[in-house]
Amino acid sequence: MATAVLKRKSGVIVGDDVINLFNYAQEHNFAIPAINVTSSSTVVASLEAARDKKAPIILQMSQGGAAYFAGKGVANDKQQASIAGAVAGAHYIRSVAASYEIPVVLHTDHCAKKLLPWLDGMMDADEAYYKEHGEPLFSSHMIDLSEEEVDFNIQTTAKYLKRAAPMKQWLEMEIGITGGEEDGVNNEDVDNNSLYTQPEDIYNIHKTLSAISPYFSIAAGFGNVHGVYKPGNVKLHPELLGKHQAYVKEQGGLKEDKPVFLVFHGGSGSSKSEYRTAISHGVVKVNLDTDLQYAYLTGIRDYVLKKKDYIMSQVGNPEGEDKPNKKYFDPRVWVREGEKTMSARVQEGLVDFNTAGQL
């Protein structure tokens, strides 16, 4: 069981527990879904799913999701809403995660060059938390400079890893662009060749970052696209990841068959065989967002359609003109329906990625 390699069996895990969990995932051929959360409601839906499937889980906030956590009415011209929302979300998740009796990796998603002030602000919070508690507030962050020149990407990532290393904080980076659109970053028109990472780049990154810290992972492009598209429009080649691992092993003279911790971006809409091929080549984290947004909607949508005649006014419904409707329009009722359908879709991912039953 995965908990055998963890010092902290439940709640937010950090440092050695994170790398031990990812090592265990590679050894036992599973990946951990990373769920984009934007509210306490989506956090709860995700934690319930992992608890019920006896699985670890990664909860992550994007820059936009973090701002939403703070409130859409808060100014964000200097990333202040995104910083405040991420920190607030992190404290909330830390407060409730242990109640679900599962290990949780607390992560932040894509941080492009223009969003680096957001990452800086979060790492300020990490260092303050570390000073008081001996561990960072977040388990890990992602820096995404895949749209920049490769050398700039690697050297800037290395700079941030040096800052994270004393806290044993994990850093995810991306090389090779993920197509599609997510959270205001639009790569729908990029050249298809940009979606496929070269093995030489993976080796260069691994060599550079390994000299600083072992706490890092690489989101390598193998045709990935954010969102869900018609079958045939997206051509994934997860078998390329196996070639990347073999190249790094050979060039570095390493013993491990899978020396690189890999990440699968743009996971929504992919086939189970594509997931499993990627996992067999050392993917330890798969991002899920678009499918879950839709799943959350369906529960609320179906409730509203079913209960339409009970939510058109505060009083009066098909059972009588004077019948109160509070028990139908109470947000705890209809929001809960969205949590249920989202949780069911997270459970599906836990099964697909072989994460279910690993605790």
Q: How far apart are CA 52 and CA 286, in angstroms?
A: 19
Q: Alpha helices, DSSP H only, in 136-230?
A: 150-164, 199-210
- CA neighbor of 12 nearest in space, from 203, 159, 169, 195: 169
CB 62 within 8 A of CB 108: yes
- Determine the length of the chain: 359
Cβ-proximal residues to 252 (8 Å cutoff; 6+ apart), any chain: 203, 206, 207, 259
- CA neighbor of 239 nearest in space, from 188, 264, 193, 274: 274
Instruction: Specify the DSSP element, H or E, that contains 242.
Output: helix 239-252
SS3 237: coil
Catalytic residue (choose from 17, 77, 109, 124): 109
Q: What is the DSSP string of 28-92?
A: TT--EEEEE--SHHHHHHHHHHHHHTT--EEEEE-HHHHHHHH-TTS--TTSHHHHHHHHHHHHH
Instruction: Specify the DSSP element, H or E, that contains 190.
Output: none
Q: What six digits make up the tokens of 309?
A: 């005649």
Distance between start and end Cα atoms, the chain: 5
Judge whether 109 counts as a catalytic residue: yes
DSSP state of 180: E
Name the residues annotated as catalytic. 109
